[in-house]
Structures are given as structure tokens and as C-alpha cells.
Amino acid sequence: MSRNCMPPVITSRSIWYWAHVEPSASVMDSAVEAGRLGIQRRPSGLSGGWKKTKAGHTDFGGYSDNSASIWWEQQRMDVRASVASLPFFARASGMVMYAEFGQLELKQLHNHIYRQAMQSIRDNLPGLPPEQRAQVLDLVYCAICHYHQAISPTIEGGTARSMQPELSQLKALMAERGNKIDTRRWSRQWYQIWNLIIDEIRQVDSMALAPVDGWIQEYFDRHDGNSRNSQKELPASALGNT
């Protein structure tokens, strides 16, 4: 996935990753890619406004390759700006799931999901034994790790894996955190709790992706509009009219 072109499969998850993680490609790659996409209008590197190029040309009307790189950088900045107003825990979720993150983002997400999961457990499983409640904090951590692994293929256009964990791996991860969990009665004791936690993670994930979904729609609307304007400027012969 090149930083100076759109991902092969454009989804909110791939765009989040592209905007925050991918290293810069060469400016020549960006110019070639923009030309391949048929982009006829692009922002000025200084003003951020749109300047028209000659219809059918892919050299940005004399713009340098460096300006092409600036254009792609502006798109990444737009994506980052689109998520800037999210609640802190939703931004943390996006960074944990689709970008490089630190302990702060993981802790913010972990704490939020734990609070929400405990409320959901109180509402849906009021009789849960105290010894199981005591394990929820570490179980939330395991669920975040599993969710991350499950949705990772979707960044490259693949299919998400099952949200149900491998019990041996879950048991080992809980043990690493100093907590023993008996998974022999998983379906009876833990299955519903796990699903409640996953549902909370999924809700925050959807919240984190929503502004990027909006950015993608605006991007294609703008690109389609520019393409239609370019077609209007072409001579009739170039449009295939007789």
C-alpha cells in the first residue's frame, strides 16, 4: 500500500491505516497514480485551493512531482482532521486498531470498554458471581487484542475473522496478566460475557470509523464531479461523439 496513492481497496479501515501509518512513497509514484486515476483538478500546494489542469493530461498542467506529493499529504491531513472531533476513547480505538499506538491509547480504550462492559453486565447478568466479575478487566484486554487480530485482514480488503477466541490462546493471555480462567465451561460461564464485551468494542469501532466513511463519500463525490467537469471540457471527438 503506497502512501502517495489510495489503497487498493478503499474502506474506512484501510483509509485510517493509510492516513496514519504508511511511509511516504516517492513523489513520482504519486504523480503517476494521480494521473492513472484521471484526476483533472487538484489543490495548490500553498493555498489548498483547486487548480484546473489541461483535460486529458496527467502532468498536473506543469505542477512538479513534489506538488503531487503535497496533494496526497493534504488528503491524509483531511482524514486526520475528520477524526479529530471524536470522543477521546473513539480516537484511541482507531489508533489501537488501525495505526501505531502507545500505552496511553490502549489504556484509554481499555478503561472505556471495561466501564461499558460492566454496565452491560449489570443490566443483563445481574447475578454474575463476584469471582467472575473480578476477571472482566483482564477479559476486556483479551477481547481488545482478539478484536484487533480479527479485523486486521479487512485493512487490506480481506474478511474479518471470527470474533470467538481460541480458548487455549485466551487462557494463556489471561495467565500472562496473572489471572487464571477456567474455559472448560466456556459456553455456560463466559460466552455471553465475551459477546457483551465484543459488542461494546464493536460500537466504539463503528464510532471511530464513521467520520472516515463520510470522508470517503466526499472524496468520491468530489472526484466524480471533477471527472464530469473534465469531460465537459473535452472536444466532441474526444468524447466519442459523431
d(CA 65, CA 42): 13
Model confidence at 242, in pLDDT bands (50, 70, 90)?
A: very low
Give the mean model confidence (pLDDT) for residues 40-68: 42
- Residues 38 and 139 both lie in one domain: no
pTM for the full model?
A: 0.74
User: What pLDDT digit, counting tens, does each position of 107-117 carry?
Assistant: 999 999 999 99
Q: Do 100 and 51 fall within a single domain?
A: no
- What is the reported pLDDT for 237? 41
**What tens digit of pLDDT does each residue of 118-155 get?**
999 999 999 999 999 999 999 999 999 999 999 999 98
Tell me what the pLDDT averaged over the chain comes to. 79
CB-count exposure of residue 125 (10 Å: 0-12, 13-18, 19+): middle
Give the span between the Cα atoms of 127 and 135, in whole angstroms. 15
Q: Tell whether 114 and 180 lie within a shared domain.
A: yes
DSSP 18-45: HHHTPPP--HHHHHHHHHHTT--EEE-T
Q: Domain tally for the chain? A: 2
Tell me: do 41 and 112 sit in the same domain.
no
Residue 221 lies inside a defined structural domain of this protein:
no
Give yes or no: residues 63 and 102 share one domain: no
96 shares a domain with 30? no
Closest by CA position to 73, among listed 23, 138, 115, 124: 23
Please tell me whether residues 96 and 147 are part of one structural domain: yes
155 residue type, one letter: I
User: By percentage, how much of the chain surpasses pLDDT 90?
Assistant: 52
pLDDT tens per residue, range 205-229: 999 999 999 988 888 887 665 555 5
Containing domain of residue 190, as a range? 88-208
In a domain, 98, yes or no: yes
- Of 38, 55, 85, the residue that ends a domain is 85
